[in-house]
Structure 1
């Protein structure tokens, strides 16, 4: 892994810790405060999409459900996040309309051991990673916007191995904005999107490549994209 990859890989571990953090909203005058902000936008490498399940399930139930949903799971795992992260120009345009400068960091990277600050030195509301290397590479950036899709695909309710609902398009993502001058978190929000199938949609259609499933997954990604814009 080269130096640039190492620095960007640090971003991939930013939002992987398990405990939920308190949400933070940006202030009303965030974009009009002086001086002008320069936002570096970083997308963390997302996991493969899947057919997620909610509800009470034992180990045997899980094994049965995995076997039954194997075909649709295979299809969902081939879907991509392009409309969520590859079309990131939508974020650049939106931020620049606010009067700031924005650019997207190249590609996204696998998680790696980052430069995590000592726990006792990190205050509530502050970023827990040392951004010194990032600032060396991107000295013009005043803020870092990190976006991580933690899970996507579909989600379906179960009781044991009995499905209680049809699949829904699903996205679970975290968004965080950091002031790189002092590691203060200016924005921290979680996005959860679920999209219902249209009425009477025949989703279990392997012969045609599960088109209805693809539609609701895509819609969840687009909804997530819109949510990020509203957060900013």
Structure 2
């Protein structure tokens, strides 16, 4: 069942990528718009367990073969704790505490997200209309940390792997002014770390991939910290 779900997600990702528009460029933190009176709410999306992320297997059958071929590595990665990557949220908390007077973590339910309408704005504005959260959450700035995928990256050409597994973290971190729905900060996170030495030794422990994954996590945390420098 899990393999079927992964195949569906991969197909959907390929379709959405083909339909994508101009990507949102990086926005450096607009520090001048933050002050002691601003109330900041930090939302951390659900961080799933790490796994092997397959890219380039161009058909559903190809993807299924790739998932099966990497099942031992995925099982190992899925056994790792998520506490290290989850600690990224503390970096955001401390960073905004140094810039504003009121910072807290907030929760958003799936239903609350569904109620948010699309925002018809140009680049530099959030795609969802977050402005209603100003009143409902009693905040002026929404900060979002979204770790979309993490664990290992492996590239394929149809059935054939064209890269060894690499340590991998991909996601987004951004902040939105809830008066205008404009980004105060926007950054894509995309870290890949090549494994040092053989990636599949010793049997089913994958120390090289594990180490590369934790290096990618540390680099992402360093990148998040640099937002406030």
TM-score by length of 2: 0.74
Cα contact 2:118–2:129 (8 A) shared by 1 = no
1:191 positional shift? 1.1
Correspondence list, 1:141-152, <5 A: 141-152=139-150
Correspondence list, 1:178-217, <5 A: 178-198=176-196, 200-207=197-204, 209-217=205-213
1:22 positional shift? 1.6
| Root-mean-square deviation (Å) | 2.9
Gap runs ≥5 in structure 2: 1-15
Tell me whether 1:105 sits opposite 2:106 in the alignment: yes
Match of 2:10 in 1: none
Distance 1:33 1:187 in 2: 11
Cα contact 1:44–1:110 (8 A) shared by 2 = no
Equivalent residue pairs, number: 207
Match of 2:25 in 1: 23
Cα contact 2:125–2:182 (8 A) shared by 1 = yes
Cα contact 1:171–1:194 (8 A) shared by 2 = yes
Distance 2:144 2:185 in 1: 10
1:180 positional shift? 1.4
TM-score by length of 1: 0.74
Match of 1:83 in 2: 84
After superposition, what is the alpha-carbon deviation per residue over 1:30-81, rounded to whole angstroms, capped at 9, x for unaligned? Answer: 3244643332111111344321223354444333322221111112223343
Match of 1:162 in 2: 160
Match of 1:135 in 2: 134
Distance 1:114 1:38 in 2: 24
